[in-house]
Structure 1
Amino acid sequence: MRVALIGAKLLLVLLSAQVAHAQTAAYLGGGLSAGLTSGSGPGEGSSTGGMITGRYALPLPVRLSLRGDVLFGRKAAFVPTLSLDLPFERNVLSLGAGASIATAGDDASPLGSRSAFVLRTGFDRFIEQSNLVLVSSFLVGFDAYSDGGTAVAFNLGLAVGF
């Protein structure tokens, strides 16, 4: 019970902290990944693991970013996406599309067991007076399983901006 209270207080502090302007052109970080699926084949269901994440803001008048995630659990998937970045109150909401490129094998990554088209949404929170970024994303992989099932993955982590 006490651990849950400490965790809740830490989350409140992180969410209520003042943040720096979202001018960081790039970041690299890592965290946790959890996936669910509507597939029913072997190795399908829920999958948890880790993630490595990165972002590069393109130097264009339109706020576009190249993003990449490596999701790993029983299997790995590389997920490159192009996203539209919508800054607000020193945060960035991103909406994008890309692909999930799965490694060989029958097991599932947090985003499915085979390569698929992916839609993503994400939220970046830039922590004031530091180069740290709290990153989260929600990915949907269509036809990401051998039986045609849809996979979803939620990712949460911490990155260093540069």
Structure 2
Amino acid sequence: MQTLGWTLFDTAIGACAVAWGEGGITGAQLPQVHATGTRSRMRHRFPGVAEGSPPPEVAALIDAVQALLRGEPRDLSATRLDFDGVPAFHRRVYELALTIPPGRVLSYGEIAQRLGDPGAARAVGQALGANPFAPIVPCHRVLAAGGRAGGFSAHGGAETKLKMLAIEGARPDDQPSLF
């Protein structure tokens, strides 16, 4: 996976970032406390890669992410992601998570079942915790059993996850399976 560039962009929840290469999106980053923190995370994840202006395909993705985080339904499932270096199980989890529409949720266990491995809920959670493409791969739309938020590795933890779900109009507390 060769990253050619990355850029920071403002959203309703803070400064996000996205990195790209010839094979598609190589990474994305949810906001840190300040834009400088997000920029620092990208420099650490993609050492030696310059911040720059995104090509048209990436600029269109940025527009879609900004709209999604304003509460406008957007389908990001057709985004070209560069899965080079992503473990096979993680890739399967991410591909399934991409099918969850805005405003809907699945549980870690439901994803494990759909992958044909009902005992893998914890492994699904670990894969989503390592998601290099958030919010493009919508790990925030995956909940613990009983509609509980579960973990979330982005800054702000479960609070950020619940905020993103609220922006999308999801109500995880009273809808255990919406997909």
Computing the radius of gyration from Cα coordinates, the structure with the larger value is: 1
Structure of greater relative contact order (alpha carbons < 8 Å, 6+ residues apart): 1
- The bucket for the TM-score relative to the shorter chain is under 0.3
Q: Which is strand-richer, 1 or 2?
A: 1
> TM (normalized to structure 1)?
0.26
Q: Which is helix-richer, 1 or 2?
A: 2
> TM (normalized to structure 2)?
0.25
